[in-house]
Amino acid sequence: MNKIHYKKIALAITLVLACGNIALAEETSVTTDVSVTANSTTAEIEASGDVEVEVRDGKGAVIQNIKARQVEAKTQIEIKRAEEKKRLESLKSSIKERQVDRKENVQEKRAEIKVKFEERKAKLQEDVKNRIENHAQKIIMRMNAAIERIEKLILRTESRITKFEANGFNATTGKAHIATAQSEIAAAKGDVSALSAALASALASTTPKTAFDTTFKPLTESIKDHLKNAHKSLQMAVSSLKPEINKATSTTTVSATTTITN
């Protein structure tokens, strides 16, 4: 009976110890699991922190990269702006130089045209002056020749009148016409002398043709009038002698007839 009691007690103790070992093993297992879990969680937290740090560092790098690109882009834009500004200034300067060159060329061409125009104008004026002078000299020669012819006629008419007077004819009227003719010739000679001065004045003028028309031509018209008047006076002088000649002829005829009759 006692042996059985002791066996029960021993069995109970064994069970208790076994339960304790089991509990201890379980506690140890749980502790181990908790420790492993805790260690795992800590590792995960640490890994998460590292990832967060890496992400943060990556963000910063991206931002820095973006900023660097922005700075580079801004720099490139400024460089391009500077280059474009320089190009525009160069283009503007080139255009301005071309405008200046074009203006100078236009001014040079205008100056050349003006010089050529003045040269041509001077040549034309010289040609006009030469033609005017040649024409005027021919007119003066013709006027002098006309005066000489009339002067010769005056001398011949005066010689006739002198002969008529020597023969007893009355030549008073004829001599008066001769005097008028001589006066007209003197006036014509004065105008011819003035022709040279008028011609010189016209040739010295900037408008020689106009000056010639206003000074030289009026004198030539005056000379023509004097020559016409002189010629007319000579005709009248000769005509004034005809009645005396007719009268003398009539007297001579009557005298001859009376003689024959007697």
Q: How far apart are CA 185 and CA 230, in angstroms?
A: 6
Q: How far apart are CA 221 and CA 225, in angstroms?
A: 6
Residues near 230 by Cβ (< 8 Å), separated by ≥ 6?
Answer: 150, 154, 180, 181, 182, 184, 185, 188
- 201 token code pair: 């004045």
pLDDT at 217: 93
pLDDT at 44: 57
Show the CA angle centred on residue 248, arms to residues 245 and 250, nearest 5°. 110
pLDDT tens digit sequence for 147-201: 999 999 999 999 999 988 888 888 899 999 999 999 999 999 999 999 999 999 9
pLDDT over 70 for what percent of the chain?
70
pTM: 0.53
Which of 10-14, 43-47, 188-192 has the largest mean confidence? 188-192
Q: What are the two backbone dihedrals, phi and then psi, of residue 20, each rounded to the nearest 5 degrees?
A: -65, -45
- Per residue in 94-103, is it b (16+ CB within 10 Å) or e — as a string? eeeeeeeeee
CATH of domain 130-249: 1.20.120
Cβ pair 143, 206 in contact under 8 A: no
Give me the residue spans of the domains in the chain: 130-249
Quote the distance between the C-alpha of residue 221 and its chain's center.
47
State the pLDDT confidence band at 100, using cuts at 50, 70 and 90: confident
Torsion of CA 99, 105, 109, 112, to 10 degrees: 140
State the pLDDT confidence band at 43, using cuts at 50, 70 and 90: low
pLDDT at 190: 95
Q: How far apart are CA 37 and CA 24, in angstroms?
A: 19
Mean pLDDT, rounded, for 79-100: 86
pLDDT at 36: 46
- The closest alpha carbon to 201, from 185, 183, 189, 215, belongs to 215
State the pLDDT confidence band at 9, using cuts at 50, 70 and 90: low
State the pLDDT confidence band at 77, using cuts at 50, 70 and 90: very high
State the pLDDT confidence band at 4, using cuts at 50, 70 and 90: low
- The chain-wide mean pLDDT, for the chain, equals 79
- 199 token code pair: 């011609």
Q: Is the pLDDT of residue 40 over 70?
A: no
Instruction: Of 45-54, 218-227, 250-259, give the lowest mean pLDDT range.
Output: 250-259
Evaluate the CA torsion angle 254, 255, 259, 260 in order and state its sign.
negative
Q: Is the pLDDT of residue 32 over 50?
A: no
